[in-house]
Structure 1
Amino acid sequence: MSCDGRGASLNVLNVSWGPKTNLFLVRDVSFSLEAGNRLAIVGPNGAGKTSLLRCLYRGVTPLEGRVEIDGEDMRTLSAQAAARRVAVVLQEMPADFPFTVLDVVMMGRIPRRQGLTGWTDNDRAQVAHCLEHLDLVPMANRQFATLSGGEKQRVLVARALAQEPDIIILDEPTNHLDIRHQLEILHLLAGLKLTIVTTLHDINLAGAFATHVALMRDGRMVGFGLPNEVLTTHAISTTFGVTALSHPAQGNAAARFSFSLKTA
């Protein structure tokens, strides 16, 4: 199998979660995503985006509802089986990781190991393929801590892909990256044969990258569908408390928005 997988369907059914039963950060969220599609979750700070992601990759267990992969309840999977289906790239990037790029990407093979056996020829082949796929071969022996932010992000994506997952979940993969590296990461992800779920702050990047968009506010999903259906000036203005203006799309590009503060 290549490191870009095949994708899997994702069904989220009436999921609610919070640190206490009387304090829900995610409430009654439901959506379905077919294999190979890309979902961008957008919304203001505190909308519940990261908490929802944690429910999707079993960082927390929903207090209500369930998450299904290809119709199978995530709660029925062992930790190893879940890690073989879902890979995660979190927003918190380690600042001082005392490993080489090769070491970090090889860690993605841990869910595929059988018992205490060492790395197999297949493990090494998969990692080599992922390094090549993300143009990381020239820096394979460099220390992870010496890389730029964009390079580190590519390494962490390569580690996730080395798991051979069907779904990859990312929390703000463009955070702290300059414009060029933001576009490079999203272009890379868009070319994978995987189901992708990511949070994004930038509305314009979300509309250009995703096949589907989920709009969240106060822990609830207030919109889900194609980008041009969900990302309207009214929905954006209402959700973020700003005035959004839409600029006509050029060719096949998604519509773009500009924003200003609401005036009294």
Structure 2
Amino acid sequence: MGNANNQAGRSASKQARLDVDGLSWGPRPGQHIIANMSLTVAAGERLAIIGPNGAGKSTLLRCLYRAVRPARGSVRLDGIDLWSISPREVAKRIAVVLQETPADFPFSVRDVVMMGRIPHRKGLSRWSERDHDLTAMALDELELRHLSRRQFSCLSGGEKQRVLIARAVVQEPEIIILDEPTNHLDIRHQLEILALLKGLGPTIVMTLHDINLAADFATKVAIIQSGRIAGHGSPQEALTAQRISAAFDVTACAHRVVDAEPSRFTFSLI
């Protein structure tokens, strides 16, 4: 997907470090959905967040992209508290791809992708030449040019997901945050989306349901259980049969992938 010319056409990918320190949030005082979470995502890393439904994964993401203010603790972007940065600056530096996206956008694919440039516009100025160039390159890189005039609402699930990732790419972010980007996609499209994200360059933070996809994609994994971090580290360190069994209340079995470099395991759940 994409080609070397498109990669060369874009400016070098920006990356940022994300630090979460003692993070807690809940709908009211004393009622926390997530509690005392601490982790670090180094610049350029790919963090996969896994855990059962209701564990607090999406709530953690909302704190990371400043949709909700922490009740306690902090989120820092390259050492600076996220809430001390202007909303416009956060929008330039952090791109978000969510599960719940309106299916009835009355816009073409090109229009939706171009929206990623809104944080960089000044007032009601016209789209710049750079805006058009970045949009064209993203459409090429994600193999969407042939769909550029199609209405977004008419696309398949996999096509819509690629459009939303293209919108994130033209934003030129330092971090891309994604909530279940492979949800409702078949296996081929799941693998295509994750392969695409691996090659983008910015720091990536995403939630995933599939443990084996997380192990293959991520450089770091965080396991969330009952609003707390139950494990954090490289896939080899964090994803143990014991932790997975405890987090998902199942019996997990690890199977070593023969000849995998580095050593890797897949998991089956009983």
Q: Distance in 1 between matches of 2:87 and 2:246?
A: 40
What residue in structure 2 maps to residue 182 of structure 1?
190
Counterpart of 1:220 in structure 2: which amino acid? R
1:142 to 2:150 alignment? yes
The gaps in structure 2 that reach 5 residues or longer are 1-8
Counterpart of 2:232 in structure 1: which amino acid? F
Q: Distance in 1 between matches of 2:11 and 2:147?
A: 19
Cα offset, 1:120, TM superposition: 0.5
Counterpart of 2:25 in structure 1: which amino acid? W
Structure 2 SS opposite 1:242: coil
Which deviations, in whole Å up to 9, do the C-alpha atoms of 1:131-151 show, x marking residues without a partner? Answer: 111111111111111111000
Cα offset, 1:93, TM superposition: 2.6
Which deviations, in whole Å up to 9, do the C-alpha atoms of 1:47-66 show, x marking residues without a partner? Answer: 10000000000010101111
What residue in structure 2 maps to residue 256 of structure 1?
266
Aligned pair count? 260
Counterpart of 2:200 in structure 1: which amino acid? L
Which deviations, in whole Å up to 9, do the C-alpha atoms of 1:101-125 show, x marking residues without a partner? Answer: 0000011100000121110101111
Query: Judging changes above 3 Å, is the alpha-carbon distance between structure 1 residues 224 and 56 closer, same or farther for their aligned structure 2 residues?
Result: same
Counterpart of 1:259 in structure 2: which amino acid? L
Which deviations, in whole Å up to 9, do the C-alpha atoms of 1:78-101 show, x marking residues without a partner? Answer: 111000010000011322111100
1:129 to 2:137 alignment? yes
Counterpart of 2:195 in structure 1: which amino acid? H
What residue in structure 2 maps to residue 54 of structure 1?
62
The gaps in structure 1 that reach 5 residues or longer are none
Q: Distance in 2 between matches of 1:116 and 1:152?
A: 27
What residue in structure 1 maps to residue 114 of structure 2?
106
1:244 to 220, 242, 252: 252
What residue in structure 1 maps to residue 5 of structure 2?
none
Q: Distance in 2 between matches of 1:246 and 1:112?
A: 46
Is residue 215–residue 222 contact of structure 1 (8 Å, CA) maintained in 2?
yes
Counterpart of 2:198 in structure 1: which amino acid? A
What is the RMSD of the two structures over their aligned residues, measured on CA atoms?
A: 1.2
1:192 to 177, 187, 200: 200
Cα offset, 1:3, TM superposition: 6.7
